[in-house]
Structure 1
Amino acid sequence: MEKTDDQNCQHRHEEDNPKSSTFDFVMKQFQGKKCAPEKRKEQPSAITQFFKGFDFGKSEGKDRREIEETEINNDGADDQSEKQDLSVEDGLSHLTSEAESPSGEQRFNQFMEKLGKKPSSKNLDLNNCALSAADITELASLLPFLPELEEISLSWNGCAGGTLKALTAQLHHVNLLKVLRLNNCRLTAEDVISLGEAFEIVSQLEELDLSWNSNIGGKLSLLTKKLQEGCKLKCLKITDCNLTAKDGESLAELLNVIPNLEVLDISINKNIGCSMKVIAQDLKNVPGLKELNLHMCGLKQDSLQGLDTALQHLTELRKLDISCNREIGGSFKASTAHLASLKNLEVLDLHQCCVTEEDMTVLSQVIPLLSNLQELNLSSNKNVGLSSDPLLGRLRFLPKLRSVAISNCGLGEESLSSLAEAALHLPELEILDLSWNKCVGGNLKLLLGALKLATEIQVLRLSSCNLVAEDLALLTSLRQDGHLARLQKLDLSYNNNISDEGWAVFCQGLGAFKELSELDVSLRPSSCRDCGPWFGELLAALTQLPALAELAMQRWALSESQRKQMEGLNQDNKRNIRLDC
């Protein structure tokens, strides 16, 4: 409490703050009692003592009674005064206790400080905080003091499983909640039931992420049946939750009550492919869907056909990921009738789908029609390079492409040449992944013109491409001539055929890659090779690369002095240098 000598100011302060005024009054009373001299009983004078032994009859008895009554009254007054003192002290103690007890906001701040997090009234981010069951209970008690809360993230806290009921019981205090993330929390069936009940309260929820909770499998209906028609949910992620075919049916029913859904991710649920046809039939109920992730869902040929039928209703789709579904290979001819209609599609991921030569014929006709496509991943489909259909050459019709991944596609010189010609028409290209295509080695010069024009290129992956010294010399000369100025990530790993001379030339020019943040020059796992005389060139170059944060040199054998020199470049621990040979 602020003290002042000015009584007028004090009076105004009391009027503005009635609680303060009451507190001040009690303080004054307490100080007055404490500071005032104690009342003492009046002692009889010497004359009174002298006449005390004489008998003066009734009047004396009366006087004696009056004296006794006076003493009794004085004693009673003193007792009453002491009681008042105790009462004032008790009142003061009560007010002080109220003043000292932390407010809800203070308790929340203390809770977040204990977890090493900055408090926010709108975003509660407690990802990977090793929360205990007691922490979840304490957090639940704090929700009434967070009425503006919009996001709760408790992901990667395994002990949260089995404790959500305490939390969901308080969600009515945060009716502005829009985002709830519970990844990898070991949720139980009881937790799923509690979440379902909470959906009847949290009507503003837009994003729900329950990924990596394997116990949800077979129990999704406990959640979905509680969602009411007109739900505002826009993003639903249930990645790797061990979903069953029955869960797929529950998900299909859910699509009928969430018309605003924009993102659906059910990736890495291998058994849900059996109900994909049912899900696809109800995708028409979410016409605003922008992202559909079906990576590793156990899709089969008939699943892809059902999905294609649904695509005619998903004109707003921006991302389609059906990668790692090997059994759909051979069905693209009968299942891509509506793919070309996705004029807004920006990301298409078909890696590891076992596409056949016949599929390539269809894709060569369809993919070039996706005029807004920005990212294309065809990796791990051998027939991309073996097919006679010029899909790679037709990428020139997709000028907005920023990322092209054709790793492990069995490319030959002819298909590499087609890609090189198409790349001349891709001015916005930022990522090019040619890894695991052996034909690149000795033929990187075919991409010389494209790499000169690729002013936006930031990531170049050439792992296991059988590169030779000539290829590395080409890269360094490009940079010295002013090209590849924005390159940030360069992967040259698993190219064991490069000579020491080739590495030396590369390291001599490495310092020119000023934006480089990641470099991988590791050898194959079965190899181990002396670093060679170019190590000194590498050290000199590293001092000129302030942005470099990741350096992988696995399977290169370094001497003790070389290791110490490498460690000396990383004294501030800002670089992750991987050495293991």
Structure 2
Amino acid sequence: MEKTDDQNCQERHEEDNPKRSPFDFVIKQFQGKKCAPEERKEQPSAIKQFFKGFDFGKSEIKDRRETEETETNNAGADDQSEKQDLSVEDGLSHLTSEAESPSGEQRFNQFMEKLGKKPNSKNLDLNNCALSATDITELASLLPFLTELEEISLSWNGCVGGTLKALTVHLHHVNQLKVLRLNNCRLTAEDVISLGEAFEIVSQLEELDLSWNSNIGGKLSLLTKKLQEGCKLKCLKITDCNLTAKDGESLAEILNVMPNLEVLDLSINKNIGCSMKVIAQDLKNVPGLRELNLHMCGLKQDSLQGLDTALQHLAELRKLDISCNREIGGGFKASTAHLASLKNLEILDLHQCCVTEEDMTALSQVIPLLSSLQELNLSSNKNIGPSSDPLLGKLRFLPKLRSLTISNCGLGEESLSSLAESALHLPELEILDLSWNKCVGGNLKLLLGALKLATEIQVLRLSSCNLVAEDLALLTSLRQDGHLARLQKLDLSYNNIISDEGWAVFCQGLGAFKELSELDLSLRPSSCRDCGPWFRELLAALTQLPALAELGMQRWALSESQRKQMEGFNQDNKRNIRFDC
């Protein structure tokens, strides 16, 4: 006989569930199974479930079917409850993971610690840290947490080149950025483009230093064309970037959008001199310029003329450096008309400009009118010689002069006498460099009066001056009489003709120079000479100079015993004593 569907269902159920008594089911209902409140309302009571097996006319199959449905519902409730528990546990686990993960500040601190730097929320100084491309990417990811950042310095990290875009796309997070320094980072054309795009974001930028990136040459327009009207740049440095004449023209075109510019440094770009006339014409757009550095820019006489014309618009200029432009020699006589108008000029650097005697005549009429001048450098203009007398004699009109550098100028005794007379009126003089002027040897006594009054002098350079024992004795007596009390650096190198007796007298009085931090007694590179009997006096004096950090003793031949004594003193006192013979 063929089985009915109900019978088949019953057999399958009995295979999976062994027979139980009705009492087993009642007990199961009271075992505390979890279920939703709604499901509990729909479930039959335990008493009713117990008596269902005794109802009139109801089959056992129906009872078991209801039993199966009830257990299924209970099991579903259990599963749902377990899922909810797991969901809660997962949520707690997620919150715990977030709590344990480092914050942005912690990540930044860890990043800086890894590089051996102290974290600073306003100044990010990572100069010369051997950064990798990965470091730059990591740094970029930290920018959103550095909203107070005002300075970023990544100079001398070659791996920055080619990776700058990873950083610039996040600069909008540091919209208070004022200083960005990228010296010697091997920047590429793509980096320059990225930097240009960043100008639209970092509107508060005041200083940009791209020096020592030679690949910028010929590509400066990729940057300058992005500068917008009202740019807040105050300082722009592009030293030694292999700039071309075209780059100079690009720079000239955007000077009108940088009205706040105060510092412009184009030094060591030898090819930019060809466009200097164009640049000079637009300097009138930056009337607040305070510092103009054109050292070694390939300037010519016509460039100097254009520059002089521009000076009439630069009344705020404090520093003018046109040094190491040899082809401007002979051009000063026709290009100093507006130099005298720089009443606020403090620093004038004309060293190694091939200045001629006619130039000196013109400069002698102008420089004494620069009443605020504090530093004057005329060094390595070998031809000025006797023609320097008028200028040196008028330095008395520069009472604020603190630094005078006239080394290797072929000075004569008359020039030295003119200088000595003017120096009596220079009470604030701190630095005097007369090196490589042979006339000083034997004539230092001409400066005796000036050196007595120079109470502020800290640096005295007399290298290769043909000094004699008498000159060293003069220095010693000055100090013993209470003069030169603030002297910190004394250069007596390359004075080979000083006798052993002269060195002995000097070393005996050397201990009186209590503020001395640097002393150079080295001989010429081609020389080698025994230290002589004065070594003992030198060693004794060194113990009396607590501030001395560097001592030059090159080309002085030391015995094994003397060398050991110097090395011991070097190590024990943590000094830097240089000797090689």
TM-score (norm 2): 0.88
Distance 1:12 1:400 in 2: 113
C-alpha distance 51-323 of structure 1, shift in aligned 2 (>3 A):
closer
C-alpha distance 25-177 of structure 1, shift in aligned 2 (>3 A):
farther
CA contact (8 A) 1:374 1:400 kept: yes
Offset, 1:86: 2.3
Distance 1:337 1:563 in 2: 58
Distance 2:186 2:6 in 1: 63
CA contact (8 A) 1:128 1:155 kept: yes
Distance 2:483 2:19 in 1: 72
| CA deviation string 1:481-508 (max 9, x = no partner) | 1111111111111111111111111111
C-alpha distance 419-106 of structure 1, shift in aligned 2 (>3 A):
same
Comparing 180-189 and 571-580, the one that deviates more: 571-580
C-alpha distance 211-12 of structure 1, shift in aligned 2 (>3 A):
farther
CA contact (8 A) 2:33 2:78 kept: no
| CA deviation string 1:23-79 (max 9, x = no partner) | 999999999999999999999999999999999997988887787777666655554
| CA deviation string 1:87-108 (max 9, x = no partner) | 2321221110010111111111
C-alpha distance 83-234 of structure 1, shift in aligned 2 (>3 A):
same
C-alpha distance 29-454 of structure 1, shift in aligned 2 (>3 A):
farther
Aligned equivalent of 2:442:
442
C-alpha distance 25-240 of structure 1, shift in aligned 2 (>3 A):
farther
Aligned equivalent of 1:353:
353
Offset, 1:540: 1.5
Distance 1:215 1:264 in 2: 20
Secondary structure of the structure 1 residue equivalent to 2:39? coil
Offset, 1:324: 0.6
CA contact (8 A) 2:360 2:384 kept: yes
Distance 1:102 1:574 in 2: 42
C-alpha distance 433-85 of structure 1, shift in aligned 2 (>3 A):
same
Comparing 148-157 and 568-577, the one that deviates more: 568-577
CA contact (8 A) 2:10 2:61 kept: no
C-alpha distance 311-36 of structure 1, shift in aligned 2 (>3 A):
same
| CA deviation string 1:512-552 (max 9, x = no partner) | 11111111111100011111222221121111212111111
Distance 2:19 2:534 in 1: 78
Offset, 1:403: 0.2
Is 1:501 equivalent to 2:501 in the alignment?
yes
Distance 2:335 2:312 in 1: 12
C-alpha distance 370-477 of structure 1, shift in aligned 2 (>3 A):
same
C-alpha distance 279-481 of structure 1, shift in aligned 2 (>3 A):
same
Distance 2:185 2:305 in 1: 35
CA contact (8 A) 2:552 2:579 kept: yes
CA contact (8 A) 1:26 1:92 kept: no
Offset, 1:285: 0.8
Distance 1:257 1:550 in 2: 48
C-alpha distance 75-22 of structure 1, shift in aligned 2 (>3 A):
closer
C-alpha distance 262-52 of structure 1, shift in aligned 2 (>3 A):
closer
Secondary structure of the structure 1 residue equivalent to 2:390? coil
CA contact (8 A) 1:507 1:534 kept: yes
| CA deviation string 1:246-269 (max 9, x = no partner) | 111111101111111111110111
CA contact (8 A) 1:26 1:91 kept: no
* Structure 1 gap ranges (5+): none
Offset, 1:563: 1.9
Offset, 1:574: 3.4
CA contact (8 A) 2:436 2:463 kept: yes
CA contact (8 A) 1:14 1:21 kept: no
Offset, 1:560: 2.3
C-alpha distance 29-376 of structure 1, shift in aligned 2 (>3 A):
farther
Distance 1:216 1:244 in 2: 10
Secondary structure of the structure 2 residue equivalent to 1:320? strand
Distance 1:506 1:29 in 2: 112
Offset, 1:365: 0.9
Offset, 1:477: 0.9
Comparing 356-365 and 24-33, the one that deviates more: 24-33
Secondary structure of the structure 1 residue equivalent to 2:62? helix
Secondary structure of the structure 2 residue equivalent to 1:498? coil
CA contact (8 A) 2:34 2:74 kept: no
Distance 1:17 1:261 in 2: 92
CA contact (8 A) 1:23 1:95 kept: no
| CA deviation string 1:355-414 (max 9, x = no partner) | 111111111111111111000000011233221751111101111000000000101111
CA contact (8 A) 2:6 2:61 kept: no
Comparing 258-267 and 388-397, the one that deviates more: 388-397
C-alpha distance 474-111 of structure 1, shift in aligned 2 (>3 A):
same
CA contact (8 A) 1:161 1:185 kept: yes
C-alpha distance 280-35 of structure 1, shift in aligned 2 (>3 A):
farther
- RMSD, matched Cα: 12.2
